[in-house]
Copies of this chain bind each other. A is one copy, B any other.
Amino acid sequence: MSIIPKLSFKNQAFKLREHAILDAATAVLSSKGYDLMTMDDVAGAVGISKPSLYKHFKSKEELVGEALIRLLDGALEYVAALDPGLGPVDKLSALLEWALRVRLDGGLPFLPSTSPHVREMLIRNVKYMLRVVKLNRQLEGMVKQAQQQGLLDRELPTDVILFSYYARTCDPAVEYLQKYSKMADEDIVRHMLKVAFDGFR
Q: Residue A82 at the B interface, CB < 8 A?
A: no
Question: Which residue of B is nearest A195, CB measured?
Answer: B164
Q: Which of B36, B117, B166, B171 contacts A167 (CB 8 A)?
A: B171
Q: Is the CB of B173 within 8 A of A164?
A: yes
Contact A200 B197 (CB under 8 A): yes
Which one of A60-68, A71-79, A99-107, A174-182 is at the B interface? A174-182
Tell me if A94 is interfacial: C-beta within 8 Å of chain B.
no
A152-168 to B contact mask, C-beta < 8 Å, 1/0: 11011101110111110
Is B35 a contact of A191 with CB atoms below 8 Å? no
Residues in B with CB closer than 8 Å to A127 are none
What bracket does the count of chain A residues touching chain B fall in? 35 or more
CA–CA, A151 and B152, complex, Å? 22
Consensus secondary structure, chain A interface: helix
A134 contacts the other chain (Cβ, under 8 Å)? no
- Cβ–Cβ < 8 Å partners of A183 in chain B: 157, 159
A30 to chain B, nearest CB (A): 10
Whether B160 lies near A164 (C-beta < 8 A) is: no
A:134-162 near B, CB below 8 Å: 151-153, 155-157, 159-161
Say which one of A6-14, A18-26, A108-116 lies at the interface with B. A108-116
Q: CB of A58 within 8 A of chain B?
A: no
CA distance in complex: A199, B36 (Å):
34
> Given A35-B36, A173-B167, do A197 and B201 touch, yes or no (CB 8 Å)?
yes
Instruction: Give Cα A58 to B77, complex, Å.
Output: 51
> Chain B: which residue is nearest A117 at the CB level?
B36
Decide yes or no whether A50 CB sits under 8 A from chain B. Answer: no
A122 to chain B, nearest CB (A): 14
Of the residues B115, B117, B164, contact of A171 by C-beta under 8 Å = B164
Contact status A198-B201, CB under 8 Å: yes
